[in-house]
Structure 1
Amino acid sequence: MTRIPLAAAAAFSLSVLSSLAHARPLEAVASFTVIADMVQTVGGEHVHVTSLIGPNGDPHVYEPTPADAQALRHADVTFVSGLHLEGWMDRLISASGYRGTPVVLSTGIKTRGMEEDGQQITDPHAWNSAANGVVYVRNIISALKQADPADAADFQANGERYIQQLQALDSYARTQVQAIAQAQRKVLTSHDAFGYFGDAYGVSFLSPLGFSTENEASAADVSTLIRQIKQEHVSAYFFENSGDPRLVKQIAAATGAQPGGELYVEALSPADGPAPTYAKMFRYNVDQLVAAMKAGH
């Protein structure tokens, strides 16, 4: 009978244990579906991602659940977009006992802001420019490499492929919008979530609400907006998959703006919808906006 020396047996069992531990995917938690998809795309088979907010969910007014606290407690790494979008996250972290620090994916973004009720507010919807999406992906690559150094090469390769896809989408958006006369590039949306898109690609967005769907538009705000839409000949309006369409429909009825359809802003569609991934969401929004602006001339 062959005897395995004790030290060799111990080393063998340790290597088996470490390969078993390594076989377990990294548990990642993302605040909402857009960034959950980005993390999954970079992480591939090495990462299991839980999105706290599901498809069509609104991150501004989300109320965390006990299941969210449990997911967070077992997370190896957590991702948020930041810029005060997920105001509920601090409470959830305290309630869950999670000891890590969330990775803020908007780090490094050149932010935009607006004045609201005398205060300077930062626009949190940074991912709506594909160039900013690239910044998010670089931050994801870096965080996943740190959390799981053994799979760093895969994260880098997946990330680089993804970045090329987003850079192509950035060029696509610019080319599509530039084919439309400047005067036609005006659109009404439910809330002010397309500022980064507008700045990047040259589209003017008007909305009755500010950066957050928690805000309520006053009657004076609405009548000012109706006047502006008529003066500027805004021809198309959109409602958002995660928001209440009633106010924007009311404004459209008063101005004669035509429905352009639905845009996906802060949440992906379910898997069988038109925007099940961030890349597909971005492309879908570009195509919807361009078709509506072209039809409005």
Structure 2
Amino acid sequence: MIRRRLLLSAALPGFIAFGIAAPASAETLDVVASFTVLADVVKQVGGEHVKVSSLVGPNGDPHEFEPSPADAKKLNAAKVTFVSGEGLEGWMDRLISASGYKGTPVVVSEGINTRTMVDDGKTITDPHVWNSPVNVKIWVANIEKALSAADPVDAADFKANAERYTKTLSDLDAYAHSKFDKIADDRRKILTSHDAFGYFGREYNVTFLSPLGVSTETEASAAGVGRLIEQIRTEHVKTYFFENSNDPRLVKQVAKATGAQPGGELYVEALSKADGPAATYEKMFRYNVDQLAAAMAKSS
């Protein structure tokens, strides 16, 4: 009995020391993001400390999304909710009301140097900010701040993850410049389904022409399509692309009328499924750059 007590006494300091040394850790945060591109960036910053759900799924259109009762339940249970903002998620207010969610969504695009565009005769803010990795750096800073406020214990990890991923975004920006800067300016012209590449075009001096405006919910007028066809012919645009998240029929009709050749599929507002070529934001951006640069080089 005495020997057993001695053994326990010898072991006890080790257990106590182990208990003191173990770092405090908050529970994994249940986080909701409005669409897949944003969900992936939140995962990159949150790491193992977050469980992220995307309301709009892979290959889904965030403009035409119709929330379900399951989405309302998901939102109601969220500790933190992230939206891109700038008018992208027009359905979010309705979903918040239906779900009973008491929080305030974090608008990750706050602080971005936005661009305006004319859509259906109105001047609006272009919401497609993520198509420039320079803008996504601002997303990352806003996400880090929000996650650290919700989980201060793991703030150091969020900061380290944010710094690492910001470096990745800088590398993506440099990669795009290395592809496009060597292509003549008059060859950097592409036909796409709708006007979602404005920030990409601004960053890399690429002109995108499209039959639809900012949202896939709008309908192109016959006169507008006619003007686009004439512009494509005048500017000798050689290649068209369709998008994974919306109907390609209209852009194909325009291409047929102008002689533009198919360049393939771009990932603009939604990631692919896990086994696709654009399962993360990093893969999506590199894939789009490669597709576009190859089309421009071919037309040159």
Q: Pick the TM interval, shorter chain.
A: over 0.9
Distance 2:145 2:204 in 1: 28
Q: Which residue does the alignment assign to 2:102?
A: 99
Query: Residue 67 of structure 2: SS of its match in structure 1?
Result: coil
Aligned residues: 281
Q: Which residue does the alignment assign to 2:288?
A: 285
Shift of 1:31: 0.4
Aligned match of 1:144 in 143, 147, 161?
147
Aligned match of 1:128 in 108, 115, 131?
131
Aligned match of 1:228 in 223, 227, 231?
231
Distance 2:64 2:208 in 1: 22
Identity of aligned residues (%): 68
1:206 alignment partner AA: L
Query: Residue 146 of structure 1: SS of its match in structure 2?
Result: helix
Aligned match of 1:113 in 97, 116, 128?
116
Contact 2:26–2:154 (Cα < 8 Å) also in 1: no
TM-score with structure 2 setting the length: 0.91
Shift of 1:175: 1.8
Aligned match of 1:70 in 53, 69, 73?
73
1:63 alignment partner AA: E
Rg larger in structure: 2
TM-score with structure 1 setting the length: 0.92
Shift of 1:23: 5.2
Distance 2:125 2:159 in 1: 31
Query: Residue 259 of structure 1: SS of its match in structure 2?
Result: strand
Distance 2:120 2:72 in 1: 34
1:209 alignment partner AA: L
Note the 1:1-297 alignment, pairs <5 A: 22=25, 24-297=27-300
Query: Residue 297 of structure 2: SS of its match in structure 1?
Result: helix
Distance 2:230 2:254 in 1: 10
Query: Could you report, residue by residue, the CA deviation over 1:68-106 in whole angstroms, capped at 9, with x for unpaired residues?
Result: 100111100000000010000000001111110000010
Query: Residue 53 of structure 2: SS of its match in structure 1?
Result: strand
Distance 1:257 1:287 in 2: 19
RMSD after superposition: 1.5
Query: Stretches of 4+ moved more than 6 A in 1?
Result: none
Shift of 1:262: 0.4
Query: Residue 233 of structure 2: SS of its match in structure 1?
Result: helix
Structure 1 alignment gaps of length 5 or more: 1-11
1:51 alignment partner AA: S
Query: Residue 292 of structure 1: SS of its match in structure 2?
Result: helix
Structure 2 alignment gaps of length 5 or more: 1-15
Query: Aligned pair in 2 of structure 1 residues 138, 23: CA closer, same or farther (>3 Å)?
Result: closer
Query: Could you report, residue by residue, the CA deviation over 1:1-57 in whole angstroms, capped at 9, with x for unpaired residues?
Result: xxxxxxxxxxx9xx9xxx99x453100000000000000111111000010011000
Shift of 1:116: 2.5
